[in-house]
Amino acid sequence: MSGFKVFAVAGATGKVGKAIVDELLRVQPELGLEVRIITRKEGGNAVKDTEELEKRGAKVYPVDYDQKPTVVQALKGVDCLISCFGATGFGLQPLLVKTAAIAKVKLYVSSHWGAPMDEYRYGLTHMKIKDEPMRLAQEVFHLPWALFRVGIFPEFAIKFPLTELNLHTRKAVIYGTGETPNSWTTIPDTARYAVYVLTHLPLSQLKNREFNIEGDRKTFTEVVKEYVGKYPGEFQVTYKPVEVLEEMVKKSEGKDFFHALMIEYATGRVAHDPAKLDNKEFPEWNPKKVVDTL
Ligand X SMILES: NC(=O)c1ccc[n+]([C@@H]2O[C@H](COP(=O)([O-])OP(=O)(O)OC[C@H]3O[C@@H](n4cnc5c(N)ncnc54)[C@H](OP(=O)(O)O)[C@@H]3O)[C@@H](O)[C@H]2O)c1
Binding site for ligand X (CB under 6 A): 11-17, 39-40, 44-46, 65, 84-86, 88-89, 92, 111-114, 150, 152-153, 156-157
Return the number of the residue (121 or 251) whose C-beta is nearest ligand X. Answer: 121
With CB atoms as reference, the residue minimizing the distance to ligand X is: 86
Beta-strand runs (E) in 11-110: 34-40, 58-63, 80-83, 107-109
Q: At what angle do helices 187-200 and 15-31 cross, to 10 degrees?
A: 40
Angle at 26 between CA 23 and CA 27, to 5 degrees: 95
Nearby residues of 105 by Cβ (< 8 Å), 6 or more positions away: 8, 75, 78, 79, 80, 81, 143
Nearest approach, Cβ of 192 to ligand X (angstroms)?
15
Return the number of the residue (41 or 170) whose C-beta is nearest ligand X. Answer: 41
If residue 197 lies in a helix (H) or strand (E), which one and from where to where? helix 187-200
Return the number of the residue (131 or 179) whose C-beta is nearest ligand X. Answer: 131
Return the number of the residue (112 or 209) whose C-beta is nearest ligand X. Answer: 112
Return the number of the residue (235 or 285) whose C-beta is nearest ligand X. Answer: 285
Nearest approach, Cβ of 83 to ligand X (angstroms)?
8
Nearest approach, Cβ of 114 to ligand X (angstroms)?
4
Nearest approach, Cβ of 198 to ligand X (angstroms)?
16
Return the number of the residue (88 or 204) whose C-beta is nearest ligand X. Answer: 88
Nearest approach, Cβ of 144 to ligand X (angstroms)?
19
> Can you tell me the distance from the alpha carbon of 259 to that of 39, in angstroms, rounded to the nearest whole number?
31
Percent of the chain that is helix, strand, coil (3-state, to 5) = 45, 20, 35
Classify residue 16 by burial, with Cβ atoms within 10 Å: 0-12, 13-18, 19+: buried
> Can you tell me the distance from the alpha carbon of 70 to that of 60, in angstroms, rounded to the nearest whole number?
13
